[in-house]
Amino acid sequence: MLVQLCNTLLMVVVALSITGVINRTRALLAGRKGIRFAQHIYNVRLLMRKGAVYSSTTSILFRIAPCIYLGATLMAFLFIPVADLWPLFSFHGDIVLVAYLLALSRMALILAALDTGSSFEGMGASREALYGALVEPALMMGLATLALFCGYSSFADIFADAQQLDMNLTVIMLLVAYVFVVILFIEAGRVPVDDPKTHLELTMIHEVMCLDYSGIDMAMIQIAGWLKNAIFAMIAANAIAVAFCFHWWFATPLAIIATGVAVGVVESLRARNKLSRNVTYILTIVALSALVLLIGFLLTQNIEI
C-alpha cells in the first residue's frame, strides 16, 4: 500500500512539474528570464477561487463535462506505474482501459464544446475527434509493442521487471518512447500539431474547445491536461527505464525533464503545422509505430536483419 501511495505521489509530482519545465525551457531558449516555475499552479489556484459564466445555450451536460473529463483522466492516471513501482490500480488488460478512459475524457470535452453552439468550439471539437481517432492506433500499437516485448498486458506487469540490457530492446524501447512523446504532442495539442500559447480563438484544437469555460471548470480542465501529460510522459520514461534497467528514482526525473525539455525545445524551434498537414503528421506517427511493432516482431522471431 505504501508503495502504491508513493507511486501516486511521484506521478502527482510529475504532473505538477512538467508544465513548469516546459515554460522554463521555452524561456531559456528565447533568452527570457521566464515566469516562476510554479506559476501554472498559482494560475489554477486563482481560477479555483473565481466564479463562472455559463452560456445560456448550454445544458446540464456542459457543467458535468469537466468533472467527467477530470474524473476519467484521473482514473487513467491511477493505472500508470512509475518504472517498477506498483500503481494504485492494476489488472490484466488495463492498457485497454486506460486508452478508453482517455477516449471517454475526450468525448466529454467534445460534447461540451458542441453544447455551446459556437462555431469556434464546433471546429475545435471536430478536429479533436478526428485527431483523437487517428492517433488511437498509434497508441494501441505502442502498447502492443510493449506487450510484445514484456509479455504482459497490464502496465504494472510490463514495467515491473527490468529486462537484461540488450541492444535490440534498447533501440525498440527508445523508439516506443519517441512515439509516446509525439502522442503527447498530439493529445495535449502542443506544437507542431497545435499551439496552446496563441490567442485562444486562433488555437485550433484543444484550447478552442474550452472557450466558454471559466473558473473552477477551467481549473479542472487544466489539471486534467497536466495529468494527461504525466500519463504519456511516464509511459515514455518507463519505456526508456525498461531498456536501461532504470528504477523509479531515475524514471521520475527522466519523465519530467526529458518530456518537458522535448516539448519546450520543439515549441521554441518549430512552427505549428499548417492545419491540413496535421493529418499527414499523425498518420506518419501511426506508420512509425506500426514499423516499430513490425521490427519488434521480427526481432522476437530471431530473424537476422
- Residues 98-127 touching another protein, rule: CB under 8 A, are 99-101, 103-104, 106-107, 110-111, 114-120, 122-123, 125-127
Site for another protein in 190-229 (CB under 8 A): 201, 211-212, 215-217, 220
- Residue 239 corresponds to which amino acid? A
# of chain residues touching another protein (CB under 8 A): 85
To another protein, the closest distance from the beta carbon of 11 in angstroms equals: 16
Site for another protein in 131-160 (CB under 8 A): 132-137, 139-141, 143-144, 147-148, 150-153
Interatomic CA distance for residues 274 and 167, integer angstroms: 38
To another protein, the closest distance from the beta carbon of 218 in angstroms equals: 12
To another protein, the closest distance from the beta carbon of 188 in angstroms equals: 17
In the numeric block, the cell 515554460 is attached to 23
Q: Is 50 in the site for another protein (CB under 8 A)?
A: yes
Q: Is 273 in the site for another protein (CB under 8 A)?
A: no
To another protein, the closest distance from the beta carbon of 111 in angstroms equals: 6
Interatomic CA distance for residues 29 and 229, integer angstroms: 21
Site for another protein in 160-189 (CB under 8 A): none
Q: Is 295 in the site for another protein (CB under 8 A)?
A: no
CA dist list (Å): 149 to 43, 153, 170, 301: 42, 11, 11, 11
Site for another protein in 71-100 (CB under 8 A): 71-72, 74-75, 89-97, 99-100
Q: Is 51 in the site for another protein (CB under 8 A)?
A: yes
Among 218, 237, 292, 293, binds another protein (CB under 8 A): 293
Interatomic CA distance for residues 44 and 37, integer angstroms: 14
Q: Residues 6 or more apart from 18 whose CB is under 8 A from it?
A: 226, 229, 230, 233, 255, 256, 259, 260, 263
Q: Is 285 in the site for another protein (CB under 8 A)?
A: no
Among 171, 279, 288, 295, binds another protein (CB under 8 A): 279
- For another protein, the closer CB: 35 or 104: 104
Q: Residues 6 or more apart from 91 whose CB is under 8 A from it?
A: 97, 154
Of 53-61, 163-171, 188-196, 239-247, the window that binds another protein (rule: CB under 8 A) is: 53-61
CA dist list (Å): 192 to 35, 85, 189, 221: 23, 33, 8, 21
- Provide the 8-state DSSP code for 205: S
Q: CA 70, 75, 77: angle at the middle one, nearest 5?
A: 90
Count of residues making up the chain: 305
